[in-house]
């Protein structure tokens, strides 16, 4: 076997986005020797792309905001399928995590009286997104990195070594979690630049690998979103929750083709942007669903008044949750009322009191993006936009308080974990999710290590098997090109498991994925191991295929439409299905495992939380027997 480098840590965090960095900071603050492993360059995690802001009920712009209102909005956005304990922890702890970030040096935009400014976003009752222009994720990452450097300086002072207790392994990709019996014992990784293998021994591993967007053809996600954490968890014996819920952001660029899918932030709509079809009609007023009728304006005049007087008017329907807006755009395009390149029009022209200058000040990145990529000046012309695969609500099933997965020693946080957002995530809730649950997972991992009687050991056989698996694409002769197989996988997911789903198409998708399994197992690459993107993709394909199978299976099973899962053949939301979580695990031959899907009951919401909602609202989501006695009695 080739020589393999070995390192030993207490906690290994896979991923250097917001969730990973926050988890690593916490593990280090708890005194644990911690490694951060990141497939991309340090600082180039997906989190840097987050534009709109971080949702936290600080009440800086509207003092009526508080954790209870945020909790209600999150549950409504997720159509009551959220893990309510996670939604509760998130709503309660998000303000502290944002203030903590400020304490560590983040420079948020301010209100006139000097507080952290908060902006409107879809599904949030009050202005709630703490932001830095439209570059909030970048500031989050910059601040977390600054905190890490400060901790490393402390370690240098105390131990003479910056990396003594917190080290970053950038451009290093984990391909396997290692187990001692059923417990985590470490991870197996390769260094992208050299192709060399590294084993990290550690009793606790935090997955913070982000999403799965690269399994779809049109996506706002970048190259590293290949569902690695999801697949690593499955392969180690953990479970994935509700993978059918994939968020298609309503506004991705549709033109030119080279940039199709790139995100147009929701802040455009939060900052007075409106959607129009080819007839010039502001069509969202035709798409307000029954469950949201009470909270949304029914006339353009009322919707427009809301920006300046939110207490006496209802919000415009452009700010409905993302799933509603994405479906509405899809319907307009299908009805031949779309824009020339297959989207609809989004415009801020003449919408801001400060005119073009205000547009450039409030939306600098969007102004730049459209000018550079599409030669469109958004101060003068509308943008063309359409749905793009953006976020996965499904993910590793975890304990809400500690982030612990089913496998002892395995933790998950951020986009790769499941439960928090139910069937649909509200914009802005991810950045605070990363901070709240990143911290909790780091803490959970540290406490787990403290409680261990003995450290698990990494076995030579497991390392040998992981090494052989990683080298297989080089050993095959006459195998397929990984790029061809990837394109077919993406096309299958886009065409058959996309924004609107049907039984027949989902069955067809599963058959196609079954055929792709053999082809993924037969991809081949040539050449050396140093910086070899084809080889990297060959290894990522295993992960994308696994998550795609989970998504398609769960989408076929759930016979209702809810949040990020729309079934053309089952268009209604069903109170009976709301009580069901769909859980995937791997079964069968470990060398060629199959995805098994099971229904699992959702835990009923705690009494004090359920009473935060009006009975009339609860009746829209819950079954008769789930309703509190008072609500049922009103019938």
Segment interacting with ligand FAD (CB under 6 A) among 33-41, 239-247, 544-552, 599-607: 33-41
Segment interacting with ligand FAD (CB under 6 A) among 190-198, 408-416, 440-448, 556-564: 408-416
List the structure tokens of 50: 């987050």
Segment interacting with ligand FAD (CB under 6 A) among 32-40, 81-89, 364-372, 462-470: 32-40
Choice from 10, 26, 51, 271 touching ligand FAD (CB under 6 A): 51
3-state SS class at 179: strand
Q: What is the Cα–Cα distance from 414 to 426, expressed in whole angstroms?
A: 14
Q: What is the Cα–Cα distance from 507 to 227, expressed in whole angstroms?
A: 22
Task: Decide if residue 374 touches ligand FAD (CB under 6 A).
Answer: no
Q: How many residues does the chain have?
A: 635
CB 317, CB 303: distance < 8 Å: yes
List the structure tokens of 558: 């759930």
Task: Decide if residue 203 touches ligand FAD (CB under 6 A).
Answer: no
Segment interacting with ligand FAD (CB under 6 A) among 202-210, 365-373, 575-583, 589-597: 202-210
CA 33 to chain centre: 28
Choice from 132, 410, 431, 546 touching ligand FAD (CB under 6 A): 431
Task: Decide if residue 271 touches ligand FAD (CB under 6 A).
Answer: no
Choice from 78, 137, 273, 479 touching ligand FAD (CB under 6 A): 137
Choice from 220, 388, 548, 566 touching ligand FAD (CB under 6 A): 220
Could you report how far apart the first and last alpha carbons of the chain are, in Å?
71
Directed axis angle between helix 136-159 and helix 18-29, to 10°? 30
Task: Decide if residue 120 touches ligand FAD (CB under 6 A).
Answer: no
Torsion of CA 284, 251, 54, 238, to 10 degrees: 110
CB atoms within 10 A of CB 526: 12
CB 137, CB 220: distance < 8 Å: no
Name the phi and psi angles at 263, rounded to 5.
Answer: -70, 140
For residues 89-122, b (16+ Cβ closer than 10 Å) or e, as one string? Answer: bbbbbbbebbbbbeeeebebbeeeeeebbbbbbb
Using CB under 6 A as the binding rule, the residues of this chain from 574 to 603 that contact ligand FAD are none
Choice from 27, 50, 344, 489 touching ligand FAD (CB under 6 A): 50
List the structure tokens of 575: 């109170």
**Shortest Cβ distance from residue 137 to ligand FAD (Å)?**
5
Q: What is the Cα–Cα distance from 377 to 382, expressed in whole angstroms?
A: 8
Choice from 13, 27, 35, 37 touching ligand FAD (CB under 6 A): 37
**Shortest Cβ distance from residue 414 to ligand FAD (Å)?**
2
Active-site residue set: 249, 269
As beta bridge partners, residue 597 has 584
Query: Which of residues 46 and 315 has its CB atom nearest to ligand FAD in the complex?
Result: 46
Choice from 11, 12, 14, 443 touching ligand FAD (CB under 6 A): 14
Q: Which residue minimizes CB distance to ligand FAD? A: 17
CA separation, residue 559 to residues 182, 299, 330, 564, 618 (Å): 34, 34, 21, 13, 21
Choice from 415, 462, 505, 560 touching ligand FAD (CB under 6 A): 415
H/E run at residue 306? helix 300-306
Choice from 15, 78, 382, 498 touching ligand FAD (CB under 6 A): 15
Choice from 81, 434, 537, 545 touching ligand FAD (CB under 6 A): 434
3-state SS class at 6: strand
Query: Which of residues 73 and 228 has its CB atom nearest to ligand FAD in the complex?
Result: 228
Task: Decide if residue 215 touches ligand FAD (CB under 6 A).
Answer: no
Task: Decide if residue 38 touches ligand FAD (CB under 6 A).
Answer: yes
Segment interacting with ligand FAD (CB under 6 A) among 397-405, 412-420, 455-463, 594-602: 412-420
Segment interacting with ligand FAD (CB under 6 A) among 18-26, 149-157, 590-598, 609-617: 18-26
Query: Which of residues 94 and 622 has its CB atom nearest to ligand FAD in the complex?
Result: 94
CB 550, CB 397: distance < 8 Å: no
**H helices present in 320-459, as ranges:** 322-334, 355-362, 364-374, 429-451
3-state SS class at 247: strand
Those residues whose C-beta lies under 8 Å from the C-beta of residue 375, and which sit 6 or more positions away, are none
- Binding-residue total with ligand FAD (CB under 6 A): 43
Query: Which of residues 73 and 224 has its CB atom nearest to ligand FAD in the complex?
Result: 224
Segment interacting with ligand FAD (CB under 6 A) among 17-25, 150-158, 345-353, 581-589: 17-25
Query: Which of residues 224 and 323 has its CB atom nearest to ligand FAD in the complex?
Result: 224
Angle formed at CA 439 by CA 24 and CA 365, multiple of 5 degrees? 85
Query: Which of residues 80 and 437 has its CB atom nearest to ligand FAD in the complex?
Result: 437
Query: Which of residues 250 and 283 has its CB atom nearest to ligand FAD in the complex?
Result: 250
Choice from 12, 19, 25, 264 touching ligand FAD (CB under 6 A): 19
CB 445, CB 32: distance < 8 Å: yes
Segment interacting with ligand FAD (CB under 6 A) among 25-33, 46-54, 65-73, 624-632: 46-54
Query: Which of residues 136 and 339 has its CB atom nearest to ligand FAD in the complex?
Result: 136
Those residues whose C-beta lies under 8 Å from the C-beta of residue 236, and which sit 6 or more positions away, are 177, 179, 184, 407, 410
Those residues whose C-beta lies under 8 Å from the C-beta of residue 619, and which sit 6 or more positions away, are 627, 631
Query: Which of residues 378 and 618 has its CB atom nearest to ligand FAD in the complex?
Result: 378
Task: Decide if residue 396 touches ligand FAD (CB under 6 A).
Answer: no
List the structure tokens of 153: 């300086």
As beta bridge partners, residue 169 has 37
Using CB under 6 A as the binding rule, the residues of this chain from 157 to 186 that contact ligand FAD are 173-174
Q: The tokens 């909005």 sit on which residue?
A: 73
Task: Decide if residue 34 touches ligand FAD (CB under 6 A).
Answer: no
Residues found near ligand FAD in the complex (CB under 6 A): 14-20, 37-40, 45-47, 49-54, 136-137, 173-174, 208-210, 220-221, 224, 228, 263, 390-391, 414-416, 427-431, 434
């Amino acid at each position: 076997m080739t020589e393999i480098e070995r390192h030993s840590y207490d906690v290994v965090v896979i991923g250097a986005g917001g969730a990973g960095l926050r988890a690593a900071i916490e593990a280090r603050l708890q005194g644990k020797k911690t490694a951060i492993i990141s497939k991309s360059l340090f600082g180039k995690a997906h989190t840097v792309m987050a534009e709109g802001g971080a949702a936290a009920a600080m009440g800086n712009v509207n003092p009526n905001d508080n954790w209870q209102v945020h909790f209600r909005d999150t549950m409504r956005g997720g159509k009551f399928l959220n893990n309510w304990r996670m939604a509760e922890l998130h709503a309660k702890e998000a303000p502290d995590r944002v203030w903590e970030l400020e304490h560590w040096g983040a420079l948020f935009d301010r209100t006139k009286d000097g507080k952290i400014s908060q902006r409107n976003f879809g599904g949030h009752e009050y202005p709630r997104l703490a932001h830095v222009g439209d570059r909030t994720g970048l500031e989050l990452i910059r601040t977390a990195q600054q905190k890490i450097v400060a901790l490393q300086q402390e370690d240098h002072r105390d131990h003479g070594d910056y990396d003594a207790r917190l080290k970053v392994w950038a451009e290093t990709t984990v391909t396997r979690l290692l187990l001692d019996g059923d417990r985590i014992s470490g991870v197996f990784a390769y260094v992208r630049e050299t192709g060399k293998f590294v084993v990290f021994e550690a009793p606790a591993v935090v997955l913070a690998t982000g999403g799965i967007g690269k399994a779809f053809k049109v996506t706002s996600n970048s190259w590293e979103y290949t569902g690695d954490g999801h697949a690593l968890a499955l392969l180690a014996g953990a479970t994935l929750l509700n993978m059918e819920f994939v968020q298609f952001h309503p506004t991705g660029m549709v033109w030119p083709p080279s940039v199709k899918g790139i995100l147009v932030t929701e802040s455009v709509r939060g900052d007075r942007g409106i959607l129009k079809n080819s007839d010039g009609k502001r069509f969202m007023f035709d798409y307000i669903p029954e469950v949201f009728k009470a909270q949304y304006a029914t006339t353009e005049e009322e919707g427009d008044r809301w920006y300046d007087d939110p207490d006496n008017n209802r919000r415009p329907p452009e700010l409905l949750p993302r799933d509603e807006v994405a479906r509405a755009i899809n319907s307009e395009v299908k009805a031949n009322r779309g824009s020339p390149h297959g989207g609809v029009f989004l415009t801020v022209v003449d919408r801001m009191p400060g005119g073009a200058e205000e547009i450039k000040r409030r939306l600098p990145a969007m102004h730049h993006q459209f000018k550079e990529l599409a030669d469109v000046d958004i101060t003068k012309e509308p943008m063309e936009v359409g749905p793009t695969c953006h976020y996965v609500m499904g993910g590793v099933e975890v304990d809400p308080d500690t982030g612990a997965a089913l496998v002892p020693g395995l933790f998950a946080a951020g986009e790769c974990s499941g439960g928090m957002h139910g069937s649909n995530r509200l914009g802005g809730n991810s950045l605070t999710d990363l901070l709240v649950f990143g911290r909790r997972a780091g803490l959970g991992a540290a406490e787990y290590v403290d409680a261990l009687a003995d450290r698990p050991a990494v076995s030579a056989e497991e390392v040998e098997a992981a090494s052989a698996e990683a080298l297989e694409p080089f050993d095959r002769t006459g195998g397929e090109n990984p790029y061809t197989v990837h394109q077919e996988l993406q096309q299958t997911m886009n065409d058959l498991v996309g924004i609107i789903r049907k039984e027949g198409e989902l069955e067809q998708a599963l058959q196609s994925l079954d055929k792709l399994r053999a082809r993924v197992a037969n991809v081949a690459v040539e050449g050396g191991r140093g910086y070899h993107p084809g080889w990297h993709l060959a290894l990522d394909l295993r992960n994308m295929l696994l998550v795609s199978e989970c998504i398609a299976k769960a989408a076929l099973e759930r016979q209702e439409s809810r949040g990020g899962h729309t079934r053309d053949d089952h268009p209604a939301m069903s109170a009976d299905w709301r009580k069901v979580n769909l859980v995937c695990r791997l079964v069968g031959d470990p060398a060629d495992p199959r995805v098994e899907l099971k229904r699992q009951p959702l835990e009923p919401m705690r009494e004090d939380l359920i009473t935060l909602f009006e009975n009339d609202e609860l009746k829209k989501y819950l079954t008769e027997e789930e309703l509190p006695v008072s609500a049922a009695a009103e019938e």
